[in-house]
Chains A and B, each alone.
Chain A
C-alpha cells in the first residue's frame, strides 16, 4: 500500500506539482480548490441558513439554479483534490485528519442530496413536517461543513506533529 502511494507520489505529474516551484503548479491547484470549496460550501451554507429560518423572506426557489453550480464546485474539487493528494500521497494517507475531512465531505454531499430530494422537490409548500425536516437537514449540513473546514485547516499542523 505504502509503495503504491510512493509510486504515485513519484510519478511525473506529482513530481511536477510538488517540485517544479512553478507559480502555475501547486499554488494554482490550491487556489482552484478554494474557489470550488467557496462555491459548494458558500451556496450550501446559505441554503442551510434559509432552512433554519434565518432571513425568512428568501424564497426557496432562489436556490433552484444553484444546485448545478454546487455540483460544479464539487467536480472541480474532486479533480484538484486528487492532484493535491498525489503530490503528497504518503503524507496525506498517514494523516487521520485527512480521513475525517473526506468522511465529512461525503456526509455533507449526502445531506445536500437529501435537502434537494426531501425539501426542494417536496411540493415546496410550507408544510410543517417539511419545515422541521429542513431544519434538521440544514443543521446537519452546517455541522458537516464546519468539521470539513476545521479538519482541512488543521491537516498541515497535524501532519507536522505526526512527522515530528
Chain B
C-alpha cells in the first residue's frame, strides 16, 4: 500500500498538519486564553486532538518514505536519523498534548468540578510540542532542500528513535512485556468503546449518556498504554510494519475509530441524552460503525504476521 513514491508524497502532504495546522491551533489557543473566549478555547483544543491523530500517519509514513528512498545517494543517512530522532520526540509530546486536550474538553463538559492542573498542563505541553515539531520540521526541510546549503551531517539530542530501538532490541524482555501491555490497553479501550456505544445504540438505556461517558479517562489511559507499547514495536523494526499492507489499514481504521469516540466530547447534543432517551439515528449509526471499526482494528492487528509484506 505504501510503496515507493507514494510513501514519500504521503509524508510530504501529511507533514503540514503537525507543523502548519498545529501552529494555527497554538495561535488560536493563546488568543483564546488572552481574550478569555470559551468557544475559541474549545475550538483550539479540538485542533490539538485532530493534529495529534494526523501526526500518527505522518510519523509512520516518514519511515515508509525512508525505506523507499534509502538507496538514493543524495540522502544523508545521518540527517535522516536526526530528523527521525527529532520527529519521534515531537510525536510523543504531540500525542500527550492531544490526549490532555481531549481530557480537558471532557472535563469541562462532563464533570463540573474544576481541576487546577489540566489547563496549565495543556499550555505547557502545547508549547513544548510546538518547539519540538519546529525542530523536526526544520531538519526535515533541510533533507528535502539541499540547495539551501544545509549541512550534510547532523545529530540531535536526545537521539530518541535510535535509543528506543536499541532499548527494545538490546533487552529481550521488552518485546513480550510490550505485548502484555498492548493487550491490557486493548481491553481498556474495547470495554470503554462497548459501553459508550451500547448506550447510544439503546442496548444500555436506563442511564444517561453522560454517566456512561464518565468511563472515558479509562479508555484514554488504554490509548496511552497502547501508543507506548505499539511505538516500541514500531521503532524496533519499522520496515516490518511500513512494508506490511495490514499495518497501514490498521492505522487508517484506528484514526477513524478514535474519531467515533472523540465526537461526543465535542458535540453537546450527545452529552444531553438522559436516562431512557433514545439517541438520534445518526448517533446510533456512528455507534454501530464505532464498534465495527474497533473490531476491524483488532482484525488487522491480529492478521499482521499472516498478511506479511506485499
Residues of A in contact with B (beta carbons under 8 Å apart): 23, 26-27, 30-31, 34-35, 37-39, 41-46, 49, 54-55, 57-59, 61-66, 69, 145-146, 149-150, 152-154, 157
Contacts and interface: CB of A to CB of B under 8 A. Distances in A.
B187 A149 contact: yes
Contacts of A54: 218
Contact of B299 (A31, A55, A62): A31
B302 A38 contact: no
B298 A38 contact: yes
Contacts, number: 104
B207 A61 contact: yes
Interface in B146-176: 176
A62 B176 contact: no
Interface of B: 111, 176, 179-180, 183-184, 186-195, 198-199, 203-204, 206-207, 211-212, 214-215, 217-218, 295, 298-299, 302-303, 306-307
A63 B215 CA distance: 12
A65 B298 contact: no
B187 A38 contact: yes
B302 A34 contact: yes
28 contacts: A23-B303, A26-B306, A27-B306, A35-B295, A39-B194, A42-B187, A42-B189, A42-B191, A45-B187, A46-B191, A46-B192, A46-B195, A49-B215, A57-B211, A58-B212, A58-B214, A62-B195, A62-B199, A62-B204, A63-B195, A65-B204, A66-B204, A150-B180, A152-B183, A153-B180, A153-B183, A154-B176, A154-B180
Interface centre among A31, A38, A54, A145 (most CB of B within 10 A): A38
Given A58-B214, A61-B206, A62-B212, A43 B180 contact: no
A38 B189 CA distance: 9
A43 B218 CA distance: 12
A42 B214 contact: no
A145 B206 CA distance: 28
Given A42-B193, A66-B198, 12 more contacts: A23-B306, A26-B306, A27-B303, A34-B298, A34-B302, A41-B187, A42-B186, A43-B195, A46-B195, A62-B204, A153-B179, A154-B176
A30 B217 CA distance: 29
Given A37-B187, A41-B187, A149-B184, A58 B194 contact: no
Contact of B218 (A30, A55, A61, A157): A55
Contacts of B218: 46, 49, 54-55
Nearest to B307: A23
B204 A35 contact: no
